[in-house]
Amino acid sequence: MMAEPVDSLLAAVPMPLLLVGQDQRLLGANLPAQALFGAIEPGRPLVTVIRTPALLEALDTVLAGGGPVETRILRTGALQDISYLVRVSAVEGLGRRAALVALTDTTDIEKVEEMRRDFVANVSHELRTPLTALMGFIETLTGPARNDPAARDRFLGIMGREAQRMNRLVRDLLSLSRVEQEERMRPGERIDLVALLRAAIAALRPVSEAAGVEIEVLGGEAPIALPADSDQMSQVFSNLIENAVKYGGAGRKVTIEITRDARDPGLRGPAVCFAVVDRGEGIEAIHLPRLTERFYRVDAHRSREKGGTGLGLAIVKHILNRHRGRLKIESTRGIGSRFTVILPDM
């Protein structure tokens, strides 16, 4: 049995702690450790609680007189694997040498690091493709096609499109960065969102007319003033409407429905809803949960052809987070898709 001061010290630490004796039997565990491993009686061999070889080797080293050792273990949780950084340190003053095993949950940190690596890899990939094309065309124009006017005009046109693609990507990356920085800052100015929506429709009129798409608005006869950032909400409306026009099918109709809901289950209160409905091919259900991820595309080739960067819906999600709203996505193959912006009606 541990001395009372040691018991109190273990109990005061919020991270899981295991105290192990020279014979590698447990002298005690605090409540977080018991929540993680179950009830632990003093005298129980550590190997019956944790069987990770790296941890047992670290324990051997420390109990043999070595310094602190760090290692990692992975445990299977109910919904996901949980990663722990484990530090094994010597403890003196208990009559004989013992070891303290401290576990720190690093799952979220590793997820963030993985997201950062994926983000850098995706940006590199998105930039590499147009840069490779530009370098190839420049080499051709300064070499074999130097005196070929037809080839020069054709290549310059392609180079212009690739440069515009890189410009759109950089623009969206900067926009995403700004939105993330401001995500915790609530907008204070009340803005008429119906007027913003109609302005976004007017700005996209040339795009919809070129695609032969009719945009109709149902509702929104009266102004709807809510606390909002006008530039960001204009970006939300423009993004969703432009996506509907581009991917909803040429020669079809895009409908924008403006409604009020007395109680939205997600917001737990009254809400204003702006739904953008297209009659395109629809999206398979397996893709819907991932549509707001950075660079996630249902059809990468088609998206790039239409000028998409794969960041639009991620930007929309972060803007709506700032406005305490949410984005609801529904789609049926062969019928179309509905993207609904839901904002608290305050």
Q: Are residues 26 and 157 both part of a single domain?
A: no
pTM of the prediction? 0.68
Q: How many domains does the chain have?
A: 3
- The residue from 105, 134, 169 where one domain ends is 105
Residue range 127-186, pLDDT digits in tens:
888 888 888 888 888 888 788 888 888 888 888 888 888 888 888 888 888 888 888 888
E-strand ranges in the chain read: 17-20, 26-29, 69-76, 81-91, 98-105, 190-192, 214-218, 225-227, 253-264, 269-277, 326-332, 336-344
Residue range 67-108, pLDDT digits in tens:
899 998 888 766 678 889 999 998 876 667 789 999 999 988
Q: Are residues 78 and 175 both part of a single domain?
A: no
Q: Are residues 212 and 313 both part of a single domain?
A: yes
Q: Are residues 254 and 320 both part of a single domain?
A: yes
Q: Are residues 295 and 201 both part of a single domain?
A: yes
Cα dihedral angle (54, 60, 66, 69), rounded to 10 degrees? 20
Please give the residue range of the domain that contains residue 175: 107-181
Query: Phi/psi of residue 85, each to 5°?
Result: -90, 125
CATH number at residue 201: 3.30.565.10
CATH number at residue 27: 3.30.450.20
CA distance 259 to 222: 11
Q: Are residues 198 and 233 both part of a single domain?
A: yes
